[in-house]
Structure 1
Amino acid sequence: MTDEFCADDHGKDKAEEINSVRRNEAQGQCTFREVASLRPLSEEASDAISAIDFCPGSSLFATAGIAKKIRLYELVETECETVFDDDDAVEGNEKKRKLVTEADMRMVKKVAEIYAPAKLSSVAWHPRDRGLICCGDYDGVVTEWDAERGVAVDERYDHGGRRVWSVDYARFDQPALCASAGGDGTIRLWSAGAGNACAGVIRPSSTGASVCSVQFSPFTPNLLAGAAADGGFHLYDTRRPDARLSGARGHARAVSYVRFLDKGRLVSASIDNTTKVWDILCGPQPRLLRTWEGQHLNVKNFVGLSALNKRGGLIACGSETNELVIYHSEEARSLWRCQFHPVKGRNRVFVGAVCWKPREESDDVQSVVAANSEGSLQVIESRLLA
């Protein structure tokens, strides 16, 4: 697909998205707006953010990326108009950040910073212990960190030096089970905080293809999904990890992300420029429910994916056009998109990490945080209309 085709397609999509949002508003559904933006003042160096995760039950979130840092932030209400974050301006190669807000909006307040020994590809916050964060890095190490003290608690090296693409914690297990997916073609299971002994190994691909994403179901105990570079995704019962429950090879290229939308639906995203929704309760072969193709650009990089079981299912992903794009599971076209601030002299900037804030049943306002390959953060608010 050429850049010219994508530009024209995005133009047509934009008009349809405006009509879609107006239709949603008329039906009393939701609207979107940018409520905060955090970006580097210096545009000379890259600070790509690879992953974002929220601390369950709070407004704290963590970012991880190639700067070898875990940065902890908090979303807070503010009436400030401009805030400068000088904490990053340590040493000559660090960058100041500027937070631009408006009245009655949000502020991204940096809480802490943890220095890691390698570039980071993934991050996950423990579901019950807000002081414990897991990261996977480019050197193949899975590390659990004490978030308050900024020190490593456990380090695991079983991926053989191949990049760890994804990490996640199980919501139901006591103690929490941790999973890591790596370039060695395996998903490895660990007991959180219990040392570095591996509790199980899963090899989703018969060809040994890299495992790019892993997620425990937030809705069903013992259910785990993994996505591989062979174009397929796979479902497992963690009590019997040697036997696959179901799966599908529904993509032409590597599947970069899998996310559970609810108990019966799964979302997969690929660098074949498609995002798909699947019915996973229909038997050993998941049934394809919906495909979005060409509404955002994704042919090279991992652009992030996050699903929210709210209002029928909201799905957020990044784009290689430096945009955040939001879909609804029942809509054939994207609902809304947000263009990140342009970077002068750079035309290959992409949004590479997104994460919805965990929902509250009574909350009519939902927030999603997105980050791009230059280190900029944007916070988008989805508000249910009366």
Structure 2
Amino acid sequence: MSQIPNDGSAHTETNTTPPSSSAQPEDRSENTGLIFQPPFNEHHSLLNRLKDNDIDSDGDDEAGITCPICQGIMVDAFITRCGHSFCHSCLARHLDKQKWCPVCRGALQDTTTCPNFNLNKVIEQRQAKSQTRHRNQRNRAKLTTVADYLDALPYNEDVLSILSNARAKRKKVMLHKGHIKSSLLSMFLTMVEDFAAQKATKWRQYQDLVIRDKMSIQQLDGQAQNSMEENNFSIQRYDDCGDDNKSNDDRHDGDDDDDGPRSDSNNNDHGGWDDNSDSDGDSVQGHSNRAYFSKASGNHINRKIKKRKYIDDSQKSEISSTPTELELILATRQRRIGPHFSDLMDFYFMERQKLGTGLASFSSTLYQLTHYSHWTPLDTIHYTDFSMTSTIVSSIEFDRDEDYFAVGGVNREIKLYDYNMLNDSLDERPFTVPLSYDDQENSDSQGSILPRNNNSAISETSTSVPLLVHCPLSIIPCEHKISCLSWNPYIKSRMASSDYEGVVNIWDTNTGQNVRAYREHQQRAWSVDTSASNPLIMASASDDSCVKIWSIQEKNSLLTLTQRGNVCCAKFAPNNQHLVAVGSADHQITCYDLRNTNNPIQTFSGHNKAVSYVKWNGDDEIISASTDNTLKSWKIGRNECTRTYSGHRNEKNFVGLSLKDNWISCGSENNTVYTYHKNSSHPVAQYKFGSVDPITGQELPNEDALFVSSVCWKRDSMKLLGANSKGVIKLLQLVE
């Protein structure tokens, strides 16, 4: 993939100069009525009848939800202006040949239909209830058979004992998790208490020193005033008093060796502090707490772990020196707090200062941060042949139900894969992954991996057996190199793409056909996004300094937003079709309300280079990526950045950005995937790709020229798809 444009300069194959920065945004709000009109009036009586219909009546099970064209249950229901609903695919095929309603024969156009969200939701609910009812019936039918079978077994008591043990084990696992969470919280609060006590002692000593100095100065002033009458001796007496004060300071410095602030050499031995670390006052934020824990974590915390007495709750006695499994888990979790201690402490006090906020939110964050430590590869896909030179994967996207995922890149193909054909289980991997060199250095005698430093990463260097070869379900040939993909959140078979020639295409993934092509962009289009709350509209961003809003029912764009520099990305808010965030080469993120584009809602400034990605985390928070080697978090309504994430390397390429709940993942130009927690500025886990031998396909030691180019979380699990510039796609799982 080409490099990200910087400072508004166009880096495209056509080398066309972008529009002038003085150009004003084009106001076409009067033409956007179609996409902002309220939904068509629906047959509420029909919906109510469907909701109230007795599901147990098999004869009426499909009443009102069948498509008049295919006579099957509606899929992706669309409603016409005349009030009739059909499957989207059936209606689209009909309108390609006829321009009237199949039911009432009234005039009908593509632009007079829209998704029937309510009916589609009712259909999904009814199908779920029907499946549950049939499953319960089958279970009840099997129950008698199974019970009779168990009673007939000669070892019936053994079977019942096994089942009872399984239930008891599950209950024990849940109690174990709760114990870990409470123990971690107690450990963290003890660490914060120690930190606060040391800081309080330090500032009390500083306060005493200041008070003594003020008293000394007051005495000095009194002595000077009394000696003004003795002009011949006043200067000499003043100097003598100054020498006395100096001796007092010397005594104070000597006292500090015993009771006051420690020197740097003593800090390492006593888990102390840096005297120069609190120039900003007694705030828990900033350099002071980082300096404290960076020195304390290596010695103070390890010493506390060694000296810690494990107390039995019932007997309150010291148990055997041999650590139990729980104690080993807690010791490992406690060590993982170290790199994130400063962020955790800030988050803890921020949460506790909120009215009515308990420890539940913080405890959950603490558990998540310490629970996961690295990525484990589950499966591998090769996007292209090993011998090809153009192999960069530009985009990976899951479809609406996450049954399939699409891969697009610079080889001018979109490949569709069935996720269920991949191995996504740790227990069924077709290969074994050895420990990397860093892990071997950090592994203990029992084989458990100890926490790594921030620069280490798991890497796959060899496999015990050949990897499975995965073939795509279908391949969609494209005219140009693909830069971005976006599945339609409502119509399962629709997907949009943008390419290096500025064309935005809509594809039917069932047939592989191009449904519509938009060619208004003058230069390379970097991104395309379909609104999650209105599947009829899309936004695309281009090197021609424009963001265009499209309707899949119209042939031309509905709206154009002109920016000051090359535009790298545009993203709709997840629950608001009117909000769009735009990242561009002018180092800024701009938020627009499409109902009034003359005045942006807010502009965020803080990045030092081009903004390559923007992602919404809810409707009020934005995560941005830039080629200044950072990610940043922004809140709507606040001008300043709320958190900066650093550790990965990104100076010129698109490396991907993906969000899942509180987790943020991105690629890096050192061929590594980095994962951050939303409430910590430092990486939680990393995974380093290897390079691929063009002859054997085996992974080799890493090359500096490779970089991770795309990442995509799977929403319903702790799994992620990542791809690099050599066309290697990895299915990774975040593990403990």
CA distance in 1, matches of 2:370, 2:503: 47
CA distance in 2, matches of 1:117, 1:110: 19
Which of 336, 342, 352 aligns to 2:685? It is 336
Does the alignment pair 1:265 with 2:621? yes
Partner residue in 2 for 1:354: 711
The change in CA–CA distance for 1:113 and 1:101 in structure 2 (over 3 A counts) is farther
Q: Which moved more, 1:321-330 or 1:26-35?
A: 26-35
CA shift, 1:72, in A, is 0.9
Does the alignment pair 1:139 with 2:501? yes
Which of 577, 581, 602 aligns to 1:225? It is 581
Alignment of 1:15-34 (within 5 A): 22-23=336-337, 29-30=371-372, 32-34=375-377
CA shift, 1:222, in A, is 1.9
The one-letter amino acid of 2:602's match is: S
- Aligned residue pairs total 334
The 8 Å contact of residues 183 and 212 in structure 1, kept in 2 or not, is answered as yes
Instruction: Tell me the SS of whatever aligns to 1:347.
Output: coil
CA distance in 2, matches of 1:234, 1:67: 32
CA shift, 1:319, in A, is 0.4
The 8 Å contact of residues 67 and 119 in structure 1, kept in 2 or not, is answered as yes
Alignment of 1:74-93 (within 5 A): 74-76=418-420, 78=423, 79=428, 81=430
Partner residue in 2 for 1:87: none
Instruction: Tell me the SS of whatever aligns to 1:110.
Output: coil
CA distance in 1, matches of 2:333, 2:580: 37
| Deviation by residue 1:240-294 (Cα, 9 ceiling, x = unmatched) | 2333111112111110000112232211111111111111243xx3x3111123x
TM-score of the superposed pair, with normalisation by structure 1: 0.79
The 8 Å contact of residues 333 and 370 in structure 2, kept in 1 or not, is answered as no
Alignment of 1:209-248 (within 5 A): 209-248=565-604
Which of 525, 545, 568 aligns to 1:185? It is 545
The 8 Å contact of residues 35 and 102 in structure 1, kept in 2 or not, is answered as no
The change in CA–CA distance for 1:81 and 1:354 in structure 2 (over 3 A counts) is same
Give the root-mean-square deviation of aligned CA atoms. Answer: 3.0
CA shift, 1:329, in A, is 1.1
CA shift, 1:195, in A, is 3.5
The 8 Å contact of residues 35 and 106 in structure 1, kept in 2 or not, is answered as no
Alignment of 1:370-385 (within 5 A): 370-382=722-734
Which of 314, 317, 337 aligns to 2:663? It is 314
- Structure number with greater Rg is 2
| Deviation by residue 1:196-247 (Cα, 9 ceiling, x = unmatched) | 21111112x3x3x111011111133421111001100111112323331111
Instruction: Tell me the SS of whatever aligns to 1:371.
Output: strand
The 8 Å contact of residues 430 and 468 in structure 2, kept in 1 or not, is answered as no
The 8 Å contact of residues 75 and 107 in structure 1, kept in 2 or not, is answered as no
Partner residue in 2 for 1:56: 400
| Deviation by residue 1:56-86 (Cα, 9 ceiling, x = unmatched) | 222311111100011111222544727xxxx
The 8 Å contact of residues 125 and 132 in structure 1, kept in 2 or not, is answered as yes
More strand by share: 1
Partner residue in 2 for 1:70: 414
CA shift, 1:107, in A, is 9.1
Instruction: Tell me the SS of whatever aligns to 2:642.
Output: strand
The change in CA–CA distance for 1:132 and 1:210 in structure 2 (over 3 A counts) is same
CA distance in 1, matches of 2:381, 2:710: 14
TM-score of the superposed pair, with normalisation by structure 2: 0.43
Which of 167, 170, 174 aligns to 2:528? It is 167
CA distance in 2, matches of 1:222, 1:116: 31
Higher relative contact order (Cα pairs below 8 Å, separated by 6+ residues): 1
CA distance in 2, matches of 1:300, 1:26: 32
Does the alignment pair 1:118 with 2:462? no
The change in CA–CA distance for 1:234 and 1:377 in structure 2 (over 3 A counts) is same
The change in CA–CA distance for 1:146 and 1:243 in structure 2 (over 3 A counts) is same
The one-letter amino acid of 1:304's match is: G
Gaps of 5+ in 2: 1-293, 299-331, 338-365, 432-461, 693-699
The 8 Å contact of residues 183 and 210 in structure 1, kept in 2 or not, is answered as yes
Q: Which moved more, 1:64-73 or 1:31-40?
A: 31-40
